[in-house]
Structure 1
C-alpha cells in the first residue's frame, strides 16, 4: 500500500475528530478492526470500532488537538492531546491501514 493512501485515510480519520464528522467512519474502518484503547480495553470488529470512535468524536465536552502525524507505508503514528473537563492528556495512536481502511488502532497515553 502506498504512503499516499495511508496518509489520505489517516487525514480523513483525524477529520472525524476535528470536524466531528462521524458518518465518515463508515468508509474508513475495515472488517476485523481491532482497537486497544489507552486503558487497555480491547474492541474488536468493524461495527464495534465504529461505535467506539463515534462515541468519542460525538463527545462535545472534550476534543483532540493534533500534535503530529507520521506515515510509514501502511502504518501511522498520531500524536495528540485530549482536552477534557479535568484537564488534558497526551498520547499516541499507532494505526494500521490495509486496503484503504483502518484495521488496527492502538492507543497509548502519557500518565502523570
Structure 2
C-alpha cells in the first residue's frame, strides 16, 4: 500500500481505496493505491505522555501508594491498601506481587 512512502504524509483518494483493494485481491497483486497531491500543509502532530501505574496500567486516579520494594505506584482501589499506609507516610508498604516473592 505504501511502497516505501510514509503513509502519514500521503493523501490517499479515499473514495477509490475500496475499489483498488478489491482489484488487488482479484489480480493477486498489490499495486500502489491512488493518491493526490496535498493542497495544504500537514497538521503539526501533538504528542501527549500519559503516565500509567499499577498492575491495571491506568493513569493516576485518587489515592495511590508507593511500593517500597518495586517502587511502582498502586491505586487503592486495585490493591486494597491498608489504612495504616495513609495514616503513616513512613510505613513500608509492599504491593501484593512483592509480598509473594
TM-score exceeds 0.5: no
TM-score normalised by structure 2 residue count: 0.21
Which structure shows the bigger proportion of residues in strand conformation? 1
TM-score normalised by structure 1 residue count: 0.19
Q: Bigger radius of gyration, 1 or 2?
A: 2
Relative CO higher for 1 or 2, CA cutoff 8 Å, sep ≥ 6? Answer: 1
